[in-house]
């Protein structure tokens, strides 16, 4: 545990040194709320009813923000790997899991801060609200955690199996847009072409969006919530299994 | 009497069909400064990486402090320290924050951390820079910081991969003094180096490796004697060949002389490492009534040992890299 907190301390010390990076990444989702929400306010989705686009979009923006954060969760280790710092970390008796855990917690804390900003701002400037109230908000944070966990591990897997940072960033930007479009983050699942909808089901973001959207718009639908939580949990377990295998091979 | 701290049997690591470490058999005794010497690409870093559990051997076995580096990696990591060849601290943290991080990762009790950091920092003279960001450090300061971090937890065995690379003379001296100090405390030091003066100054025991194989092994003195001992170079003032061969004949009969040779007018007399050889040779010449023109005494250093065992392809490889031959040694 102390190894995890020592590494977490490191990540936050770095964050503190780069206030502008922090500021930009924390406020980046605001761009979506400010521009995209207003752009789409009067859009008409023929197969589904979207009463208020900003409210509709809230779950999508939260999920996409968590998705990008987590998939980028391995970036510090990418550079540690290239400049030799990782070798020094690995030569210490720190448990291998602490490397993973400290990245996950670091990303989770940043994500939660962003979710707070997104929800707060969209209440303030877009007049949205969460139907299920504070408990629903806590459930949104739980979904955030489940979505982020698997993806952070996936990010670490990429860091360790790709040859260097160039291919990592190429792959990251290659994945991000399709993942956004192959999800109901910005449009209702029902309005998607069939073949895209089927692909969207394989996307963890889809399940996070569906559950959160229910909590924001309609209320407590436990069938929906538990299905989504279950699927996300299965994805997490699969990612963890893959992660343990890859990290065992690369981290010894 | 003293036990083996490192013991490898037939250790092997291959990169893309090229053996970086090729059947290494190594024993390092407790409390010694062990030097692993070898030209660039010989396999020193690869060996170190296997011993510190970061690289899995393709075959063979390595025990560090009695623990297997593959199956008991955690136990090995707890009791060793490691300073990499290239400085690798977190550039966006201060020196102190880096040291605190490693102190925690090496499980130094929180209460002791500040004292340990202060002590090591004073020793390496890093004090005034401690709260600066590492990205503002010079190369030598970074190296010192890494050395400090590797020693914080006072390991029983420390791996130093080219510790004085890029250090100025006085810091190098300080690092050497520190290594002497470690030895006094009973710490075993595994030192990879390319610097013969460093090996000469510090090492109790040396292995020279080349292309992943040990080509020479022994104490510095043993290795140097292995070259055929010290050389007395003597020439008579007369240019007559008869005088020269007479001198050679006379000297070769002395019991402490292991062989003789001739290089032009000069007679080379190989003697066992022996401080009294010079006067004895002079006496012998005088009693044979041969007048001596000049005489000198050379003791081969580790550099000669190193070149003898690795020399040939060492220069060849440098040519490969730079495209033109490096200054040749005689
Ligand atoms: N990751 C790697 N992939 C492929 N080959 C490697 C790798 N690391 C080392 N090698 C090769 O293994 C051999 C031994 O390299 P190593 O780094 O152990 O040498 P060294 O003795 O430490 O050299 P130097 O004095 O230059 O540090 C070299 O031929 C090198 O090219
Ligand atoms: Mg090396």
**Tell me: the pLDDT tens digits for B248-283?**
888 888 888 877 777 777 888 878 766 788 888 888
Among the bound ligands, name the one nearest to the CA of residue B209: 1
Which residue has better confidence, B311 or B63? B63
**Shortest-distance atom of ligand 1 to CA B194:** 25
Give kind and range of the element (H or E) at residue B294. strand B292-298
Mean confidence (pLDDT) of chain B: 85
Question: What are the start-end ranges of the H helices in chain B?
Answer: 44-51, 73-79, 95-105, 110-124, 139-151, 169-184, 196-202, 220-225, 241-252, 277-287, 302-322
The lowest-confidence range among B16-25, B179-188, B275-284 is B275-284
- Distance from residue B45's CA to the centre of ligand 1 (Å): 7
Instruction: Characterize the bridge pairing of strands B4-15 and B80-83.
Output: unpaired
Q: Does A201 touch chain B (CB under 8 A)?
A: no
Check if the beta carbon of residue B37 is closer than 8 Å to that of residue B43.
Answer: no
Residues of chain B with Cβ-Cβ distance to A252 below 8 Å are 53-56, 73
Mean confidence (pLDDT) of chain A: 91
Distance CA A85, CA B216 (A): 33
Q: Does B161 touch chain A (CB under 8 A)?
A: no
Q: Does A85 touch chain B (CB under 8 A)?
A: yes
Q: Write down the pLDDT at residue B2.
A: 58
Residue A49 pLDDT exceeds 90: no
Closest residue by Cα to atom 5, ligand 1, is B15
Distance CA B104, CA B99 (A): 9
Q: Does A17 touch chain B (CB under 8 A)?
A: yes
Q: Does B160 touch chain A (CB under 8 A)?
A: no
**Shortest-distance atom of ligand 1 to CA B85:** 27
Instruction: For the beta carbon of residue B207, count every other beta carbon within 10 angstroms.
Output: 23
Check if the beta carbon of residue A54 is closer than 8 Å to that of residue A41.
Answer: yes
Ligand 1 pocket test, candidate residues B14, B38, B43, most atoms within 8 A of CB:
B43
> What is chain A's Cα-based Rg?
19
Bridge partners of residue B231, in order along the sequence: B270, B298
Q: Write down the pLDDT at residue A47.
A: 64
The lowest-confidence range among A6-20, B92-106, B238-252, B270-284 is B270-284
Which residue has better confidence, A241 or A1? A241
- Measured from the CB, is residue B261 less than 6 Å from ligand 1? no
Dihedral angle sign, alpha carbons of residues A238, A242, A248, A251: negative
Which residue has better confidence, B230 or A86? A86
Q: Which of A13, A91, A252 sits opposite B97 (nearest CB)?
A: A13
Instruction: For the beta carbon of residue B122, count every other beta carbon within 10 angstroms.
Output: 10
Check if the beta carbon of residue B236 is closer than 8 Å to that of residue B244.
Answer: yes
Check if the beta carbon of residue A165 is closer than 8 Å to that of residue A83.
Answer: no
Q: Which of A17, A84, A94 sits opposite B88 (nearest CB)?
A: A84
Residues of chain B with Cβ-Cβ distance to A93 below 8 Å are 74, 77-78, 105-107
Q: Which two tokens mark B97?
A: 């924050």
- Measured from the CB, is residue B41 less than 6 Å from ligand 1? yes
Q: Write down the pLDDT at residue A252.
A: 62
Residues of chain B with Cβ-Cβ distance to A10 below 8 Å are 90, 93, 97, 101
Q: Is the pTM of this model over 0.90?
A: no
Work out the minimum CA distance from B19 to partner chain A, whole angstroms.
20
- Measured from the CB, is residue B13 less than 6 Å from ligand 1? no
Going by the DSSP 8-state scheme, the letter that residue B154 receives in this structure is -
Residue-wise burial string across A102-132, b where 16 or more C-beta atoms lie within 10 A, e elsewhere: bbbbbbbebbbebbebbbebbeeebebebeb
Check if the beta carbon of residue B285 is closer than 8 Å to that of residue B292.
Answer: yes
Residue of B251, A230, A104 lying closest to A222 (CA atoms): A230
Interface of B with A in 32-71 (CB under 8 A): 49, 52-56
Check if the beta carbon of residue B145 is closer than 8 Å to that of residue B137.
Answer: yes
Mean pLDDT, residues A140-166 taken together: 94
- Measured from the CB, is residue B85 less than 6 Å from ligand 1? yes
Mutation target among A92, A99, A248, A251 for the B interface, most CBs of B within 10 A: A92
Q: Does A41 touch chain B (CB under 8 A)?
A: no
Torsion angle, CA of A8/A11/A14/A16, rounded to 10 degrees?
A: -60
User: Degrees (nearest 5) of the Cα angle B80, B82, B84?
Assistant: 165
Torsion angle, CA of B90/B92/B93/B95, rounded to 10 degrees?
A: 70
Distance CA B180, CA B291 (A): 47
Q: Residues of chain B with pLDDT > 90: what percent?
A: 45
pLDDT tens digits, one per residue of A99-138: 999 999 999 999 999 999 999 998 998 889 999 999 999 9
Q: In what order do the strands lie in the sheet with B188-193?
A: B80-83, B157-161, B188-193, B33-37, B205-210, B213-218
Distance, C-alpha A12 to centroid of its chain: 19
Q: Does A10 touch chain B (CB under 8 A)?
A: yes
Q: Write down the pLDDT at residue B178.
A: 85
Residues of chain A with Cβ-Cβ distance to B93 below 8 Å are 10, 13-14
Residues of chain B with Cβ-Cβ distance to A91 below 8 Å are 52-54, 77, 80, 82
Instruction: For the beta carbon of residue B141, count every other beta carbon within 10 angstroms.
Output: 22
Confidence of residue B290 (pLDDT cuts 50, 70, 90): confident
């Amino acid at each position: 545990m102390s190894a995890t907190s020592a590494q977490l301390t490191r990540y936050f010390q770095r964050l503190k040194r780069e206030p502008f990076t922090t500021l930009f990444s924390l406020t980046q989702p605001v761009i979506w709320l400010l521009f995209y929400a207003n752009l789409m306010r009067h859009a008409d989705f023929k197969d589904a009813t979207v009463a208020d686009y900003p409210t509709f979009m809230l779950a999508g923006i939260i999920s996409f923000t968590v998705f990008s954060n987590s998939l980028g969760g391995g970036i510090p280790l990418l550079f540690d790997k290239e400049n030799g710092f990782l070798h020094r970390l690995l030569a210490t008796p720190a448990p291998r899991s602490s490397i993973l855990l400290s990245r996950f917690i670091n990303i989770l804390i940043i994500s939660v801060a962003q979710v707070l900003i997104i929800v707060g701002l969209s209440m303030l400037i877009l007049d949205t609200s969460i139907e299920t109230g504070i408990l629903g908000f806590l459930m949104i944070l739980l979904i955030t955690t489940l979505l982020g966990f698997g993806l952070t591990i996936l990010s670490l897997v990429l860091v360790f199996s790709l040859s260097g940072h160039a291919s990592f960033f190429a792959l990251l930007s290659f994945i991000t847009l399709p993942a956004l479009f192959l999800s109901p983050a910005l449009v209702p699942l029902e309005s998607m072409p069939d073949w895209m909808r089927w692909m969207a089901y394989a996307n963890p973001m889809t399940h996070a969006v569906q559950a959160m959207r229910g909590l924001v718009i309609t209320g407590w639908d436990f069938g929906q919530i538990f299905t989504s939580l279950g699927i996300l949990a299965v994805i997490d377990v699969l990612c963890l299994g893959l992660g343990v295998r890859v990290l065992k091979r690369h981290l010894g | 009497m003293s036990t083996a701290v490192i013991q490898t049997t037939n250790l092997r690591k291959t990169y893309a069909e090229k053996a970086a470490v090729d059947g290494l058999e190594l024993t390092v005794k407790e409390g010694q400064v062990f030097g692993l010497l070898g030209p660039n690409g010989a396999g020193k870093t690869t060996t170190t990486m296997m011993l510190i559990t970061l690289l899995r051997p393709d075959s063979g076995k390595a025990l560090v402090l009695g623990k297997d580096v593959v199956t008991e990696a955690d136990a090995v990591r707890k009791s060793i320290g490691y300073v990499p060849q290239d400085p690798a601290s977190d550039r966006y943290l201060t020196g102190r924050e880096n040291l605190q991080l490693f102190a925690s990762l090496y499980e130094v009790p929180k209460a002791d951390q500040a004292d340990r950091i202060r002590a090591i920092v004073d020793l390496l003279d890093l004090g005034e820079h401690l709260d600066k960001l590492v990205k503002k450090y010079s190369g030598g300061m970074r190296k010192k910081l890494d050395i400090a971090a590797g020693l914080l937890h006072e390991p029983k065995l420390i791996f130093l991969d080219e510790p004085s690379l890029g250090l100025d003379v006085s810091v190098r001296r300080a690092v050497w003094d520190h290594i002497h100090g470690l030895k006094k405390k009973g710490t075993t030091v595994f030192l990879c180096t390319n610097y013969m003066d460093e090996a000469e100054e510090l090492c109790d025991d040396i292995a020279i490796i080349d292309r992943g194989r040990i080509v020479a092994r022994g104490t510095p003195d043993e290795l140097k004697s292995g070259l055929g001992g010290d050389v007395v170079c003597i020439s008579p003032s007369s240019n007559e060949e008869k005088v020269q061969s007479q001198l050679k004949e006379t000297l070769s009969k002395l019991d402490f002389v292991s062989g003789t040779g001739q290089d032009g007018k000069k007679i080379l007399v190989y003697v066992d490492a022996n401080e009294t050889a010079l006067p004895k040779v002079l006496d012998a010449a005088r009693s044979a009534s041969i007048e001596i023109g000049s005489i000198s005494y050379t003791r081969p250093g580790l550099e000669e040992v190193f070149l003898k065992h690795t020399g040939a392809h060492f220069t060849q490889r440098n040519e490969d890299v730079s495209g033109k031959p490096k200054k040749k040694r005689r």
